[in-house]
């Protein structure tokens, strides 16, 4: 008898928690940001995000994320003007990192891929390099649909755990839509 009551109680708790989660998800308001020409991302209100507006007509806004109430990471995007193979784009990026880095050295720490909600492919590489005795760890995402390509850059504030920010950035980029 006690087991039956506990099972019913668990069932009702599960139903109530699912209803509360559904209510929370529908109550959160989302903001849409045009991160680059033709690229928009819907930002969930559940994350501590600020949008830093573009400084002029040419530049694009930047998403600033907070971790534990402090600025932790920044996300920006640029539209690639010409169509090229992924391998060529990655080689060009690495050439630029090599030019900026001390001694022309960098480390490729991680790479991966995923798709957005609209099934656009996204590849990412995590680079670590040093410039003027300052350490940089950046994640570059290459978002590609059939007709357009974007570089999306995730930059962390020093001391922020990259293993915390990459999943956040991936979740945001999954919401990206080429318009």
Strand runs (DSSP E) across 119-165, as ranges?
121-131, 134-144, 149-156
Q: Is residue 164 part of a domain?
A: yes
Domain boundaries, position 42: 28-178
pLDDT value of residue 24: 44
Angle at 47 between CA 64 and CA 129, to 5 degrees: 40
Q: Is residue 96 part of a domain?
A: yes
Q: Is residue 147 part of a domain?
A: yes
Count of domains forming the chain: 1
Residue 176 and residue 41 in contact, taking contact as beta carbons nearer than 8 Å: yes
pLDDT value of residue 47: 84
Neighbours of 154 (CB within 10 A): 25
Q: Is residue 12 part of a domain?
A: no
Q: What is the pLDDT of residues 122-170, one digit of tens each?
A: 999 999 999 988 889 999 999 999 889 999 999 999 889 999 999 999 9
Cα gap 138→156, rounded to integer Å = 7
pLDDT value of residue 41: 95
pLDDT value of residue 33: 93
Q: What is the pLDDT of residues 22-71, one digit of tens each?
A: 344 444 556 899 999 999 999 988 888 999 998 887 789 999 999 888 89
CATH code, domain with 48: 3.40.1000.10
Q: Is residue 142 part of a domain?
A: yes
Q: What is the pLDDT of residues 11-24, one digit of tens each?
A: 444 433 443 333 44
Q: Is residue 3 part of a domain?
A: no
Q: What is the pLDDT of residues 75-126, one digit of tens each?
A: 999 999 988 999 999 999 999 999 999 999 999 999 999 999 999 999 999 9
Q: Is residue 149 part of a domain?
A: yes
Residue 106 and residue 98 in contact, taking contact as beta carbons nearer than 8 Å: yes
């Amino acid at each position: 008898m006690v087991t039956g009551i506990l099972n019913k109680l668990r069932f009702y708790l599960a139903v109530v928690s699912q209803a509360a989660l559904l209510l929370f998800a529908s109550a959160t308001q989302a903001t849409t940001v045009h991160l680059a020409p033709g690229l928009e991302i819907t930002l969930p209100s559940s994350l501590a995000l600020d949008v830093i507006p573009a400084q002029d007509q040419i530049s694009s806004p930047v998403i600033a994320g907070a971790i534990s109430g402090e600025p932790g990471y920044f996300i920006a995007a640029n539209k690639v003007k010409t169509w090229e193979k992924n391998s060529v784009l990655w080689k060009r990026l690495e050439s630029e990192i090599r030019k900026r880095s001390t001694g022309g050295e960098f480390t490729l720490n991680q790479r991966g891929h995923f798709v957005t909600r609209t099934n656009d492919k996204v590849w990412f590489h995590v680079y670590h390099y040093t410039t003027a005795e300052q350490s940089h760890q950046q994640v570059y995402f290459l978002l590609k649909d059939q007709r357009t390509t974007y570089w999306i850059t995730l930059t962390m504030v020093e001391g922020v755990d990259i293993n915390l920010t990459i999943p956040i950035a991936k979740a945001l980029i999954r919401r990206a839509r080429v318009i």
